[in-house]
Structure 1
Amino acid sequence: MNDIDITIRLIFLAHVAATLYMTGLIWFVQIVHYPLLAATGRAEFSAYEKRHMSLTTWVVMPPMLVEIATAVLLFWFRPADVASWQVWSGVILLAIIWLSTAFLQVPCHEKLANGFNAEVQQRLVATNWIRTIAWTLRGLLVLGMMWNTWAVT
C-alpha cells in the first residue's frame, strides 16, 4: 500500500467515524436531551441553558469540523469504490445540517438562554428533526460507502 492509499483510508475512516458519532449523538439529543429541557427548573433554566451551550460546543464542534473537512477532502481523496454521487450527496446533507444548525437550532438556543419558553423549546425539538434525519441519511450513506469499499467479493 502506497502513501496515497494510506491517506485515502485515513481520511475515509475519519469521515466515517465523525459521521457515525454525530448520528448517534443527534438521536440522543432528539429523543432524550431536547425534550428534557422542558423538565428543567424554571429558576435555573437560563444558567442551565448557557452552560449547556458552552459545554455542547466542546462535544459537537470537533467531530463536526472533522466531518465537513473530510467530506470536502473526499472530492480529491476518494476510495476507488466510492461513487462521486455519494460524496456529493454527503456534502449536500452536511449543508442542510449546518444551515439548520445556524438558522434554526442556534437561534432557539439563544432565545432559551434568556429563560425557558415552551414554544421555543417545542420549536427546537421539532426543527431538530431536520438534522436528525439528515445525519441518519449520512450515517446510512457512509455505511454504504464503507460496504462498497471493503466488501468481500
Structure 2
Amino acid sequence: MLGALLVAATAAYAGFQWTIRLVVYPQFATVPREAFVRYEARHQGLVSIAVGPLFVLDGAACIAAFVHGPRWPSAAAGACLAVILLLTAFGAVPQHRALSSGFDAAVHRRLLLVDSLRLGLALGAVGAAVWFAAG
C-alpha cells in the first residue's frame, strides 16, 4: 500500500513536471511581448496552486516510506524531491521573478535548463519509488 502511494505521488509530480517542461515553458516564447507580463503573473499564481499539493503529497509519501522502510529507495526519492525543491526556490523562482518584468530569451533559457534538471530528478524519484515498491 505504501509503495503504491509513493509511486503515485512521485509519478503525479513527474507528470506535472513533464507537462510544464514540454508544453508550458516552451510556449512562453510564443506569448506576444505586450501580453507577457500579465501572462507570467497569471502563470505564477496558477502553477503554485497546482504544484503545492503535489509537493506536500510527495513529501509526505517520502517521509512515510522512509519511516516504514526500506530506507535506501525512500531516501533516494526524498533526496530527489529535496533537490527539486532547492532548484525551484533558488533556480526557477528567480527566473520567474526576472520574467515578471517582461520576456527575456536568456532568462527563459535558464528557466528551461533548471526545469530540465527538475524533470530528470522527478523521473529519478519515480524510479526510486518503484524500487521501494518492489522491495
Q: TM-score if structure 1 supplies the norm length?
A: 0.82
How many pairs does the alignment contain?
135
SS at match of 2:67: coil
Pairing 1:21-60 to 2, within 5 Å after superposition: 21-60=12-51
1:120 aligns with 2:107: yes
Corresponding residue for residue 85 of structure 2: 98
Higher helix share goes to which structure?
2
Report the CA distance between 1:15 and its aligned residue. 2.6
Once residues 102 and 19 of structure 2 are traced to their aligned partners in structure 1, the CA distance between those partners, rounded to angstroms, is 23
Report the CA distance between 1:13 and its aligned residue. 3.5
1:137 aligns with 2:128: no
Once residues 88 and 147 of structure 1 are traced to their aligned partners in structure 2, the CA distance between those partners, rounded to angstroms, is 15
Once residues 140 and 12 of structure 1 are traced to their aligned partners in structure 2, the CA distance between those partners, rounded to angstroms, is 12
Q: Percent identity?
A: 30
- Indicate conservation of the 8 Å contact 2:3/2:130, yes or no: no
Give the residue type in structure 1 aligned to 2:19. F
Report the CA distance between 1:95 and its aligned residue. 1.3
Structure 1 segments unaligned to the other structure (5+ residues): 1-8, 149-153
SS at match of 1:102: helix
Once residues 77 and 9 of structure 2 are traced to their aligned partners in structure 1, the CA distance between those partners, rounded to angstroms, is 13
Corresponding residue for residue 89 of structure 1: 76
**Structure having greater relative contact order (Cα 8 Å, sep ≥ 6):** 2
Give the residue type in structure 2 aligned to 1:145. F
- Indicate conservation of the 8 Å contact 2:3/2:129, yes or no: no
Once residues 146 and 76 of structure 1 are traced to their aligned partners in structure 2, the CA distance between those partners, rounded to angstroms, is 14
RMSD (Å) for aligned C-alpha atoms? 1.4
Report the CA distance between 1:43 and its aligned residue. 0.4
Pairing 1:57-68 to 2, within 5 Å after superposition: 57-68=48-59
Q: TM-score if structure 2 supplies the norm length?
A: 0.92
Once residues 109 and 101 of structure 1 are traced to their aligned partners in structure 2, the CA distance between those partners, rounded to angstroms, is 10
Once residues 92 and 49 of structure 1 are traced to their aligned partners in structure 2, the CA distance between those partners, rounded to angstroms, is 29
